[in-house]
Structure 1
Amino acid sequence: MLRIIAGKLKGRKIEEPDLNIVRPTTDRVRESIFSSIQFEIEGTKVLDLFSGSGAISFEFISRGAKEVFSSEKNRKVFNLIEKNQKKLNIENLFLFNVEAFQMIELFKEKKFDFIYLDPPYNEVTLLEETCKKILENDILDEHGTLIVETNTEKIKFSDEFLIDKKKKYGKTFVFFIKKR
C-alpha cells in the first residue's frame, strides 16, 4: 500500500500495482517534489503522463489541484488507479488508458500548469521525445512547470526549456523545468 503524504487525503492508502510492471515514486521523493511546489498547486490543471501507481495524481488532487488528467497505457495498472480513485471518491481526476503521445495529442488545445513525466527508467529516448511532443503541441502553460523524474542526468532537453531546479535522491533525479 502507498500512502498519500499531505493535503485533504493525507494518510489515506492506495493499492499499489505489481512492482514488476511499475516503479512507484518513493514517499521521500514525492514529499520533496511536493514541498518544492506546495504553494503553487491550488486551482491548477495537471497532466500526469506515465501515471504508474497514480500516486502523483492523487497527491496533486489532495493538495488542491483543480483538475488532473492522468494517462497509463497498461490496462491492469489503469484499472487499479481507477479502483483507487473510486475508493477515494475523487471526481476531478480524469483517467485515460492511452500512451503518452496519444494523451498529448488529445489535449493539444489545453494548457497545463504542471506536467509530470515519469517514464520507465532507462527510457531516455522516450523521455526526450515526450518533451519534444509537449513543446510541439504547446500544452505547457507559459508559466507552467514540467517535472521530470528519471534515473539519469544525461537528458537532452530542448533549448526552449530552462532547468529551474535539479534534485537527486539516491539514484533518482528530478528536474523542474520552465519555458524560456
Structure 2
Amino acid sequence: MRVISGTLKGRRLVCPPGLATRPTADRIKESIFNILSGRFQESRVLDLFAGTGALGIEALSRGAAFAVFIDQAKAAMDAIQRNIRAFGIEGRSRTIRWNIRKNLNCLRSTPSFDLVFMDPPYSTNAVNPVLTSLAACGALCPGARIVIEHSDQERIVLPTDTLVLADQRGFGKTLVSFVDAMI
C-alpha cells in the first residue's frame, strides 16, 4: 500500500499486523480522489476507522490542511502514528483512539471537518449508527462531504434531512457512497 499522488507520492504505508485491518485498495482510493476532484485542498479531514491512515494521509499529500485519524484498535493506531512520523506530518495531524461505534463525543471540542472518510469493518452494520453520531456531534462544516467505503450488502439510511446521498459507485462487492451535509 502506498500514497498515490501529491507531496508524499510513492511512499509506502506501514500496515498493522494480522487481518483485523482491511486496507482500501489503491484502485478504489484513486477513484475516490478522482471523484473528489480537488475538494480536499486546504480542508480539515476526518478519517474514521482509519486503519493505516491511508485515506487521510492521501488527502494531506494532496493538499489538505489537517487530518484527524480515529480508530479503536491499538495496532491500527500504532501503524498510523508510525506513518505520520515517517512522513513528517505530525504538525498537520492528530490521532485519537476511540470506540467510534459508541459515539463521537471525542470530536465535541475539535473544529469541524470539510471531508470525512469512513471505512468500517464490513458486516458490522456500523455505517448508519456512525452517520447518526456524526450528524449529532456537530463535527461537520456546512457542505461537508462524507465518503463511505462499505459492503454492497449494507444499505445506507441517512439519519436526518441534513445528510443527502450525492453519489454511489460500485467496485465488485464494495460500494463507495458520497454523502453531503446540507447544514
Query: Is the pair's TM-score, using the shorter chain for normalization, greater than 0.5?
Result: yes
Does residue 1:129 correspond to 2:129, yes or no?
yes
Overall identity of the aligned pairs, in %: 28
Greater helix fraction, Structure 1 or Structure 2? 1
Taking a change above 3 Å as real, the CA distance of residues 73 and 22 of structure 1, as seen in their structure-2 partners, is same
Report the Cα distance in structure 2 between the residues aligned to 1:129 and 1:137, rounded to whole angstroms: 12
User: Counterpart in 2 of 1:144?
Assistant: 144
Question: Which of 156, 171, 174 pairs up with 1:172?
Answer: 174
Quote the RMSD (CA, aligned, Å).
Answer: 1.6
Taking a change above 3 Å as real, the CA distance of residues 19 and 30 of structure 1, as seen in their structure-2 partners, is farther
Does residue 1:49 correspond to 2:51, yes or no?
no
Does residue 1:112 correspond to 2:118, yes or no?
no
Does the Cα contact within 8 Å between 2:9 and 2:61 map onto a contact in 1?
yes
**For 1:13, what is the secondary structure of its paired residue?**
coil
Q: Output the TM-score relative to the length of structure 2.
A: 0.91
Unaligned ranges ≥5, structure 1: none
Specify the code of the residue in structure 1 equivalent to 2:172.
Answer: G
**For 1:177, what is the secondary structure of its paired residue?**
strand
Does the Cα contact within 8 Å between 1:5 and 1:59 map onto a contact in 2?
yes
* Moved segments of 4+, more than 6 Å: none
1:23-57 C-alpha deviation (Å, 9 max, x unpaired): 00000000000111131111100111100111111
The size of the alignment, in residue pairs, is 178
**For 1:69, what is the secondary structure of its paired residue?**
strand
**For 1:14, what is the secondary structure of its paired residue?**
coil
Q: Output the TM-score relative to the length of structure 1.
A: 0.92
User: Counterpart in 2 of 1:77?
Assistant: 76
